[in-house]
Amino acid sequence: MTERILVAGAGALGSVFGGFLAAAGHDVTLLGRAPHMQAVAAAGLAVDGLFGARRAITVTVASEPRVLRPPFDVVLLTVKAYDTVATLAEVAPLLAGGGCLVSLQNGLGNLERVREAVGPARAVGARVIFGAEIPVPGTVRVTVCAEPVALGAVVAGDAAAAAHARCWAARIAAAGIPTEYVVDVHAHLWAKVFYNAALNPLGALFGLPYGALAADPDARAIMDDVIEEGYAVARARGVVPTASSPEAYRRIFYERLVPSTAHHRSSMLQDLERGRRTEIDAINGCLWAFGRAAGVATPVNATLTRLIRWRERLGGLQSVRARP
């Protein structure tokens, strides 16, 4: 059955979802930056990489929410965490009464805002742990994948939201993106935050891919501390991550997750290179804030947050390299 899908934030990640779903026959609208949207409007959206090749010719594009034509059966939210509130205000009213909104975002705090915007019965969260890039406008490439996308109800036990999550997990999987339904999406999201918090700021500060970080003993020690602090914060908030302990998580992290994404350059690094704001406040910064509220010390996460904020104020990597 064809569904009307809005991808709100059609950068690299959103374009992968939109491209695969459009190629599977769904009515997809992409909302994103003008240069990429103009290229898609002119020649369609080409997707290639680890999940295979797709070309979606019949894709509607928009660069401003005001031109969108509601209602949509599902909104896939793929904007940066710092744009969540503003984007929800624009796109939540476009959602059909029987539809759902799926957050496919990095970091913590997004799901709570989605629930507030559309209600628990229509709120779905997802853990996404594959990487993509836009080599040229109109084209997107899947570069790395550690695990399938995991979809689940934002509010555990909400039957309507769970039904939405099951349905869209199946549809996305059928379109060609490895995806599965999970009962506790928060457990998966916290585990992803540990992954991002350990890798992204160090990779961004030193311009290195993930594998190079894991190869250095001092970098590993810092990442181990990030994960240890993250687990302490999770325990204080009553969260049970997918791995039962920091030690168990680190085994998965170093033996499976990092090797699967060893050549990946994080979006945080790419943001700094382009002089853009990063999502540090939704990742390490959120662990720091949650820890402070719970009386849990997180000095490593606090330091990494401050360093990335400082680098942002300096104007990113290119301007720093240009200084005498």
| Letter string b/e over residues 244-264, b meaning 16 or more CB atoms within 10 A of that residue's CB | eebeebbebbeeebbebbeeb
Q: How far is the C-alpha of 83 from the C-alpha of 181, rounded, in Å?
A: 26
Are 69 and 96 spatial neighbours (Cβ–Cβ below 8 Å)?
no
Question: Which of 192, 250, 264, 265 is labelled catalytic?
Answer: 192
Q: How far is the C-alpha of 43 from the C-alpha of 52, rounded, in Å?
A: 19
Read out DSSP for 107-165?
A: SSSHHHHHHHHH-GGGEEEEE--EEEE-SSTTEEEEEEESS-EEEEESSTT-HHHHHHH
Q: How far is the C-alpha of 158 from the C-alpha of 285, rounded, in Å?
A: 29
Alpha carbon separation from 180 to 152, 167, 171 (Å, rounded): 9, 10, 10
Read out DSSP for 185-250?
A: HHHHHHHHHHHHHHHHHHHHHHT--HHHHHTSHHHHHHHHHHHHHHHHHHHHTT---SSSSHHHHH
DSSP-derived letter for residue 318 is: H
Say whether 192 is catalytic. yes
Q: How far is the C-alpha of 142 from the C-alpha of 177, rounded, in Å?
A: 10
Q: How far is the C-alpha of 223 from the C-alpha of 219, rounded, in Å?
A: 6
Which helix (H) or strand (E) element contains residue 30? strand 27-31
Are 150 and 33 spatial neighbours (Cβ–Cβ below 8 Å)?
no
Active site residues: 192
